[in-house]
């Protein structure tokens, strides 16, 4: 399991394909704050709730200077289906080899119903305008998480 990020760390650089196969890099957002959230799988109930919450609050977040990127190990084609099925407006990125998930400490050991396995740890990292980690939240809940971020960031 990789190290979890801490406030003040430099956010690991990345370039990943979005739902349409276009390359998106963290550096594309230089000068803006970025909320990077990691979720286990598109088209599942918890991940759908979380993505819809981000979409519903996207105008508020972007107005406050935050871009939102959602990252999962899904392929771009599945992300496109997810976006269309749920009318999502957040940018969804594909990380099938889990390199970015690992670099951000969002992939590792999980426990569920008494069994231990490797998987995506639902996490949210807030990156400041200079590319430094402002907040690193791990094992977040899908429901109510976006409202909590908005409160915590004072938006």
**What is the distance between the alpha carbons of residues 137 and 125, in angstroms, rounded to a whole number?**
6
User: What secondary structure, in 3-state letters, does the chain show?
Assistant: CCCCCCCCCECCCCEEEECCCCEEEHHHHCCCEEEEEECCCCCCHHHHHHHHHHHHCHHHHHHCCEEEEEEECCCHHHHHHHHHHHCCCCEEEECCCCHHHHHCCCEEEEEECCEEEEEECCEEEEECCCCEEEEEEECCCCCCHHHHHHHHCCC
Catalytic residue list contains 52:
no
Q: Assess contact for 131 and 125: CB atoms under 8 A.
A: no
Per annotation, catalytic residue among 11, 19, 36, 47: 47
What residues are labeled active site?
47
């Amino acid at each position: 399991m990789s190290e979890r990020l801490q406030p003040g760390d430099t956010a690991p650089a990345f370039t990943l394909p979005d739902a349409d196969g276009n390359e998106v890099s963290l550096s594309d957002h230089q000068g803006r704050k970025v909320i990077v959230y990691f979720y286990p799988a598109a088209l599942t109930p918890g991940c759908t709730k979380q993505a819809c919450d981000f979409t519903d609050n996207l105008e508020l977040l972007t107005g406050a200077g935050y871009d939102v990127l959602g990252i999962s190990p899904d392929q771009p084609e599945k992300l496109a289906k997810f976006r269309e099925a749920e009318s999502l407006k957040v940018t969804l990125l594909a990380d099938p080899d889990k390199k970015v998930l690992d670099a951000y400490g969002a992939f590792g050991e999980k426990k569920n119903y008494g069994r231990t396995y490797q998987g995506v740890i639902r996490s949210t990292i807030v990156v400041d305008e200079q590319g430094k980690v402002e907040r690193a939240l791990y094992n977040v809940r899908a429901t109510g998480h976006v409202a909590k971020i908005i409160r915590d960031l004072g938006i």
